[in-house]
Structure 1
Amino acid sequence: MSITKRTSLFAMLIMVMLVAAACGDKADNNAQTEDTTKTETAAAADTDATKTEDKENTEASTEPAADEEDNSQNVELGTTEKGSYTNDYFGVSLKFPEEWEFQDAEGMNELTSASSDAIAGDDDTKKKQLELSQAKTLNLLMASELPLGGQEVGPSAMAIAEKVSLLQGIRTGKDYLEATKKFMVDSQFPYDYKEITTETIGGKEMDVMQITMDAGDGTTITQDYYSTIIDGYAFNFIFTYLDDASKAEIDNIKKSVQFK
């Protein structure tokens, strides 16, 4: 697989696969800590008060958080048309060049599934992580100047949302992006990273992480990851560009973003 093609697959999938991999580990660690605490408490004193406290903690841990109860039933994937995307649930809209190609949710699912197979390879653990993450992820928008899933990388814009929980340690867009970076570094992706900053886009403050990668032909691929928490979801934009001309196109898309 050429580095350009491989980069294209990473660009499509990296945010989709993130939280299950990074935050799943946090959830497991939290569970292990809780089990250890319970064991030590039981060994110290098996009193009625301890039993009552354990029962209350168990009941509390099984109750859904207020932001997770029913809102997933009302989430919509939005509407993608030639040159525009609108989503009333997340209260966002944007415009992209009318000549660009775009995919609906079904098409995005097919592309990310293909990317998942290519990236996971024979790693069963990664396969399970990817499957879990895809099950929690809403593919909202994928628009690109060049054919999607093709052999070349061009400027593109993506929007995805993933259900998150405070139990996973994801409270802000910065938390989400830090988990993204950790996953990339641990997976030895050949990226260079800039510090996470904040930026107001379309009237909403979002956390931003920029990464770059040498495409191997003298071209540098840049991706800007924007993330914020909306109604219990990590809502994300991924903007990809390669040079000043494609950056100008992406800047125009960013300027068109509006949050209600």
Structure 2
Amino acid sequence: MSAQLTPNDIHRLTEITKNVRSNIIKMLYHAGSGHSAGSLSWAEIMVFIYFYLAKHQPQNPQWPDRDYVLLSSGHHCPALYAVLAEAGYFPIEELVQLRKLGSRLQGHPQRQLVPGVEISAGSLAQGISQAVGLAIGLKADHKPNHVFCLMSDGEFQEGQTWEALLLANKYHLGNLSIIVDVNKIQISGHTDQVMPMHPFFEKIADFGWNAIKTNGHNFIELNKAFTQDLSNDNPSVILCQTIAGKGVSFMENNPEWHGKAPNKEETIKALTEINES
């Protein structure tokens, strides 16, 4: 990762993000079910990590020197699948098999089935515990690999998350970054109405972590946040302010689209908006 993004970098990442968002919509339409809003809000973050930040080799998914990217909020796997396919881990044409009987692209990712998937996910808030354990092991073995754990903001309503934060601080895991999609909605409604977490930033900092806020849809701001993160010896939490359903006007900030797939007419409208953005 270079210190500053070039205009060519931004253009490349932006075009990849459009492809990813379009494929998320197509996948969910063909599946007839799935999680639209959160998958769309992850797009820029995942694209930045896989196409600019992390060390990985699509042709060799088990490369020992790779950085580990763990998706804790497994229901957002349409975004992960779209990014992995775009990167070359498996054919893009396979994406329309999402949630189909016999498909390896399940509604929650399974590590043994999909190249590039580091953990099987389903039960929320477990990813951070796996990430902490992995980071402890890598540090003990003096390995240079970095661990990136991708979480939803709703996962911070669970006690397991805060136990993992304490443990990571104890062992000074500078090789661990938690990236949080702060889109402020979950299946039951807006997160502040379900379980208020304010002051979110201050709580994380009080647990000994390097707490960073950024715009999760802006590549320049993401680059600044990760540069600050990777220059710090403590574990970091990057709170990415995002818009649920980003890029599709009728999905944005609407909890109804947490676990809903678009129909044919909605798919056409969504793809038009994404391609014209």
Max Rg structure:
1
Give the TM-score normalised by the residue count of structure 2: 0.26
Relative to its length, the structure with more strand (as a share) is 1
Give the TM-score normalised by the residue count of structure 1: 0.27
